[in-house]
Chain A
Amino acid sequence: MVKKISALLLAMAAMMVHTTGWAAETVATDSGTTSWMLTSTALVLLMVPGLAMFYGGLVRTKNVLGTMMHSFASMVVIGVIWPTIGYALSFGPGILGGFVGWDPKLVLFQGIDEAIMPTHIPEYVFAMFQGKFAIITPALIAGAFAERVNFRGFLVFIALWSILVYSPICHWVWAADGFLFNLGPKGAIDFAGGTVVHISSGATALVSALFLGARRGYPRNVMHPSNLVMTLMGAGLLWVGWFGFNAGSAIASNLDTARALTVTQMAAAAGACTWMIIEFLHHGKGTSLGVASGILAGLVAITPAAGVVPPYGAFALGAIAALVCYLAILLKGKLGYDDSLDAFGVHGVGGIVGALALSFFIRPSWMAEASAKVAGGWGAWQQLGIQATAVGITVAYASAASLLLLFIVEKTIGLRIGENDEMSGLDHSMHGEQGYGLINPN
């Protein structure tokens, strides 16, 4: 018996020697990093049902399912498109002058079956982690045209948008050969998706709201949220999921991860506190929707900055974003366009504020590294120029391309639903179901 065990141990030892010898030539998987990245991947996916609940609670009862389905549709449609071509378009080597990436080997992840990245995680984990970002981005847009879009038109729109808008911007900002990744001494700073996710979806949201026009009766009729309890639960899920979103974006499990997690927590709290105080001063009451909006504003603003700002910067960005988003939503009321659930007001505006204002809160060690790379040094204002370029390009491209896609989908499949369907509600007219059915004594 003892002999048998020792023989087994010997065999195992031999195998270990063999694997180590083999691994010396390639990169080994780091189980700690891989575990955290797997966790982050799951956390980011959790944000999608979180968003469905957040948005679903804000619309009228007759549209609750239709609105939640926008998030879930993104989960399933982009869930198919991303492994098929999305990853290849985003992270393949640049083609068409760097407009987009492409590598036929990445179609259906064929080429990465055995790939371990230099960050010591299997490339599958990275591809799946990135896929979650591709899923949540089109889902965010849906807030702008809630309660008035054709489900089929929406499906086609997000599919085209993911391929023609998300993938190129993702390639520019995050691929190693992307031109925004390489702008300035240390690149345009977008740690976890300020431009790629929030500004691109926010700009598209504004264009969509303007293109499709207001909901019937807006702003004359008050449109009450169907279920703010669900909205708060959604905001909570988004906050939790955001730890994966930001702290996972270091693609590591180290000091950078810890920094990103800390500032994410702090910015969300600062944003919510600021929004609440503004409401106390402005209305005399702090609303639950205000707290939820403040949480989101803070989280959105810290997203691009989570890798570079120290804790005091997180407080500052969260507070500034809450104030500016609050003003943006007031301004929306004055201008009269119908960004129904403030997809632009929170994600677009919050994302732009975060991406620009982070320049003034960058930790000194980062600045020193950047300065060392350029003759004459590097400062906040110069980085602001880089950030503004990245924001400007993202806004311009996302708006223009989205307008074209909206036009095409509206003319072919139809995006804006008819008056009769809109009055009946999306749940009945688009899905033949009802959201709050359990309330009926059936």
Chain B
Amino acid sequence: MKLITAIIHPDRLDHVREALIQAHITRITVSRVAGHGRQEDIEYYRGQKIAPSLLPKVRLDIAVNDQFVDITVDTIINAAKHRADKVGEGMIGDGKIFITPLEECIRIRTNERGGTAV
């Protein structure tokens, strides 16, 4: 089992969520977080360009069994990437994906453990 954590741009949330559902990855936790990577985002505030230090991001947490890791990751990458001029080229700020080993998973309702609980 793996825990896939993706940090994406908020405006791609619905794109990613829909793509995941299309790929039959239907269990997901979404949180609003703030942070930054190398991105220098520019937003307008009362007509002034500002570069905020912390940028709003959306964090997705998805626990999957090993055979679903690739499809999940590919789907997120495909949907979260902003299409710049060239197809397949993303933009700075599109986000990151972290994959960590998942020791245990328990469904509270039934006490199921392990792969079936994911």
Q: In this assembly, does A248 line the interface, its C-beta being within 8 Å of a C-beta of chain B?
A: no
Knowing A440-B32, A441-B34, A442-B34, the reply to whether A429 touches B53 (Cβ < 8 A) is: no
Inter-subunit contact A442/B53 (CB<8 Å): yes
Chain A hits for B40, CB < 8 A: none
Inter-subunit contact B11/A442 (CB<8 Å): no
Inter-subunit contact A441/B11 (CB<8 Å): no
Chain B hits for A424, CB < 8 A: 11-12, 14-15
Cβ contact of A428, chosen from B11, B32, B44, cutoff 8 A:
B11
Q: In this assembly, does B52 line the interface, its C-beta being within 8 Å of a C-beta of chain A?
A: yes
Q: How far is the CA of A167 from the CA of B75 in the complex (A)?
A: 52
Chain B hits for A27, CB < 8 A: none
- How many residues from B make CB contacts under 8 Å with A? 16
CB-based nearest A residue for B42: A432
Chain B hits for A440, CB < 8 A: 32, 34, 54, 56
Q: In this assembly, does B10 line the interface, its C-beta being within 8 Å of a C-beta of chain A?
A: yes
Inter-subunit contact B56/A429 (CB<8 Å): no
Q: Which positions 23-81 of chain B face chain A at CB distance < 8 Å?
A: 32, 34, 43-45, 52-54, 56
Q: How far is the CA of A281 from the CA of B11 in the complex (A)?
A: 40
Chain B hits for A371, CB < 8 A: none
CB-based nearest B residue for A422: B14
Q: How far is the CA of A428 from the CA of B9 in the complex (A)?
A: 11
Q: In this assembly, does A389 line the interface, its C-beta being within 8 Å of a C-beta of chain B?
A: no
Inter-subunit contact A434/B32 (CB<8 Å): no
Inter-subunit contact B44/A425 (CB<8 Å): no
Chain B hits for A429, CB < 8 A: 11
Q: How far is the CA of A437 from the CA of B12 in the complex (A)?
A: 17
Could you tell me the distance in whole angstroms from the C-beta of B32 to the nearest C-beta in chain A?
A: 7
Per-residue CB contact flags for chain A residues 415-432 toward chain B (1 = under 8 Å, else 0) read 000001001110011001
Q: How far is the CA of A221 from the CA of B3 in the complex (A)?
A: 27
Inter-subunit contact B11/A62 (CB<8 Å): yes
Q: How far is the CA of A437 from the CA of B54 in the complex (A)?
A: 11
Inter-subunit contact B14/A423 (CB<8 Å): yes
Q: In this assembly, does A439 line the interface, its C-beta being within 8 Å of a C-beta of chain B?
A: yes
Chain A hits for B44, CB < 8 A: 432-433
Partner-A contacts on B (CB < 8 A) = 10-15, 18, 32, 34, 43-45, 52-54, 56
Partner-B contacts on A (CB < 8 A) = 62, 420, 423-425, 428-429, 432-434, 437, 439-442
12 A-B residue pairings within 8 Å (CB atoms): A62-B13, A423-B14, A423-B18, A424-B11, A425-B11, A429-B11, A432-B43, A433-B43, A433-B44, A434-B56, A440-B56, A441-B34
In addition to A424-B11, A433-B45, A437-B56, 9 A-B residue pairs with Cβ atoms within 8 Å of each other are: A62-B13, A420-B15, A423-B11, A433-B43, A439-B32, A440-B34, A440-B56, A442-B52, A442-B53
